[in-house]
Chains A and B, each alone.
Chain A
Amino acid sequence: MPSQERKIQAPQPNPETKAFWDAAAAGRLMIGKCTGCGQVHYYPRAICPYCLSDKTELQQASGNGTIYTYSVMRRAPIPYAIAYVTLQEGVSMMTNIVDCDLDQIRIGQPVRLVFKPSEGGQPVPMFTPV
């Protein structure tokens, strides 16, 4: 069952995050990169969560990752899989695993980036098994 049938709540961008969502609309997943300490972080923010530097920027992620953990919500009108995916770049993000048999999802499974439209159209990053 394709999980995009579920209504996806639209994110509410703010001045700090508008560039992230604009990139998502153009099909790119961005993570936070601090030019002060060199570390990447997620969710991206203006102030680095490792060193408090304000020299942060967005860096495009490869879109490849593996499933760190997941759970299929059975008690919902349309069951769906929520997950944390660890990106190739080293950070993990909350997401959905979509376009697959929900009963076949496994921890450690390689996944790749896809975008699904939320209510109102804003695309949000999700993942599907490779």
Chain B
Amino acid sequence: MSIKGKAYIVGIYEHPTRKADDKSLAQLHAESAKGALEDAGLTRADVDGYFCAGDAPGLGPLSMTDYLGLKLRHMDSTDSGGSSYIIHVGHAAEAIAAGKCSVALITLAGRPRSEGQATGTAQRATGGNAPDAQFENPYGPATANMYAMCAMRHMHQYGTTSEQLAWIKVAASHHAQHNPHAMLRDVVTVEDVVNSPMIADPLHRLDCCVISDGGGAIIVASPEVARSLKRPKVRIIGAGEAPKHQMGGHVDLTYSGAVWSGPAAFAEAGVKPSDIKYASIYDSFTITVLMQIEDLGFCEKGQGGKFVADGNLISGTGKLPFNTDGGGLCNNHPANRGGLTKVVEAVRQLRGEAHPAVQVRNCDLAIAHGTGGSLGTRHGAATVIMERE
């Protein structure tokens, strides 16, 4: 069974907060849910499926359905880190296709800024029972140095340069200047990026995403529900997911799980990378974008540096407009999990509701792709392909 055409994204919401001192975590989830339902023109009573991941408070779906007063037929708390919500879109489409629910709500929220969470350069907390923890924690794995090891190897193997990586941030900043909610709205240059302080060789400060509070929500619905609403129709036509890990010690950091999730999604959708008009690509770090672009097939392996250079990701001038909201590099990275906002901006593009300065013309086919967990150890790749009907 394929999910192609079996479900639509009918509601989206990106919480405007970037620092939520005055709100609780559950409240941010709930405000996001409310925003997405209002965007869709649906009510709480219409929701019969709920999806959340590890950022949700308490016992995830139980705590949040209690808070929201939902009555459900289906729930799913798949957690693959920041890519979870892209997986949720695919899983929601599957559940709808199987008749398990007709209106699925997906929420995300987090307050890493307000809570002063050690992020990025601090040692990553892993559960005491994680089998890998005792073989890694003594060595000081943070988030930044794990992705940095991927960048270092990519540079060694393919000749990728810091200047090429910097173009990814430059493109994001060109888009963020038009987003009033973005944390970083100043347009930056390649020189600005490579001259910013070194965090973990070879990644500079401006190669890293922002740390922000925030949240968001997505409503996925059946074709019958979608037809009854007065919103532009965004149809889900393909999805893929895959974990990648250390393969028993045969570590290869030159590629991501997108080499599996991407082709699965493209095959289901019946389209190819060159057909895509807009791409939301998870941008925890510049290297994340570059590797995923290669692995999704937008260019040959190893040619990502050349592909992203010279503004090729900038809407209006480049061949592959990406992250037109400014992405994680400039806009926000709620809960340190950027997958949900990737879907949100892709839907805006397909609806023609992106900022006019970055709206892609005739945008009828878009991809959202994410990497959750850590690119340098183990991660979950997730891809979803959507079209405007």
- A and B are interacting partners: yes
Partner of B139, one of A16, A41, A95, A107: A95
Known A43-B131, A43-B135; contact A107-B249, beta-carbon cutoff 8 A: no
B138 pairs with A8, CB closer than 8 A: yes
Per-residue interface assignment for chain A, residues 79 to 120, with 1 indicating a CB less than 8 Å from any chain B CB and 0 otherwise: 010111010001111111000000000011000000000100
Partner of A91, one of B137, B151, B249, B377: B249
- For residue B63, give the distance in angstroms from its CB to the closest CB of chain A: 29
Known A12-B128, A41-B248; contact A75-B200, beta-carbon cutoff 8 A: yes
* Residues of chain B within 8 A of A9, CB atoms compared: 123, 137-138, 140
B140 pairs with A73, CB closer than 8 A: yes
- For residue A44, give the distance in angstroms from its CB to the closest CB of chain B: 9
Partner of A74, one of B128, B134, B138, B201: B201
* Residues of chain B within 8 A of A86, CB atoms compared: 251
Partner of B135, one of A71, A80, A94, A108: A94
B139 pairs with A76, CB closer than 8 A: no
Q: Is A6 an interface residue (CB 8 A)?
A: yes
* Residues of chain B within 8 A of A69, CB atoms compared: 149-150, 152-153, 156, 253
B251 pairs with A73, CB closer than 8 A: no
Q: Is B352 an interface residue (CB 8 A)?
A: no
* Residues of chain B within 8 A of A16, CB atoms compared: 131
Q: Is B230 an interface residue (CB 8 A)?
A: no
Which B residues between 109 and 144 are near A, CB-CB below 8 angstroms?
A: 121, 123, 128, 131-142, 144
B139 pairs with A94, CB closer than 8 A: yes
Q: Is A59 an interface residue (CB 8 A)?
A: no
Known A41-B248, A45-B131, A92-B249; contact A75-B121, beta-carbon cutoff 8 A: yes
Bound-state CA distance A72–B247 (Å) is 24
Known A43-B132, A49-B248; contact A74-B152, beta-carbon cutoff 8 A: no
What's the A-B contact tally at a CB cutoff of 8 Å?
120
Partner of A70, one of B121, B136, B138, B149: B149
Q: Is B316 an interface residue (CB 8 A)?
A: no
- CB-based nearest B residue for A78: B140
A17 pairs with B134, CB closer than 8 A: yes
- For residue B376, give the distance in angstroms from its CB to the closest CB of chain A: 8
B140 pairs with A82, CB closer than 8 A: yes
**Size of A's binding interface in residues, CB under 8 A:** 47
Which B residues between 302 and 318 are near A, CB-CB below 8 angstroms?
A: none
- CB-based nearest B residue for A84: B251
Q: Is B148 an interface residue (CB 8 A)?
A: yes
* Residues of chain A within 8 A of B140, CB atoms compared: 6, 9, 73, 76, 80, 82, 96
Q: Is B198 an interface residue (CB 8 A)?
A: yes
B251 pairs with A68, CB closer than 8 A: yes
Known A12-B134, A41-B249, A91-B250; contact A96-B149, beta-carbon cutoff 8 A: no
Which of B135, B146, B148, B377 is packed against the most chain A CB atoms within 10 Å? B135
- CB-based nearest A residue for B203: A71
* Residues of chain A within 8 A of B377, CB atoms compared: 94
Per-residue interface assignment for chain A, residues 8 to 41, with 1 indicating a CB less than 8 Å from any chain B CB and 0 otherwise: 1111111011000100000000011000000111
A93 pairs with B249, CB closer than 8 A: yes
* Residues of chain A within 8 A of B133, CB atoms compared: 11-12
* Residues of chain A within 8 A of B201, CB atoms compared: 70-72, 74
- CB-based nearest B residue for A44: B135
Bound-state CA distance A87–B168 (Å) is 34
Partner of B137, one of A11, A17, A90, A108: A11
* Residues of chain A within 8 A of B135, CB atoms compared: 11, 42-43, 93-94
For this complex, 10 residue pairs linking A to B, each with C-beta atoms less than 8 Å apart, are A6-B140, A9-B123, A11-B137, A42-B135, A74-B199, A74-B201, A75-B199, A82-B146, A96-B138, A126-B139
Q: B residues within 8 Å of A by Cβ?
A: 121, 123, 128, 131-142, 144-146, 148-153, 156, 197-203, 246-251, 253, 377
Top 5 A-B residue pairs of the complex, sorted by shortest distance between their CB atoms: A91-B249, A42-B249, A71-B148, A11-B134, A41-B248
Q: A residues within 8 Å of B by Cβ?
A: 6, 8-14, 16-17, 21, 31-32, 39-43, 45, 49-50, 68-76, 80, 82-84, 86, 90-96, 107-108, 118, 124, 126
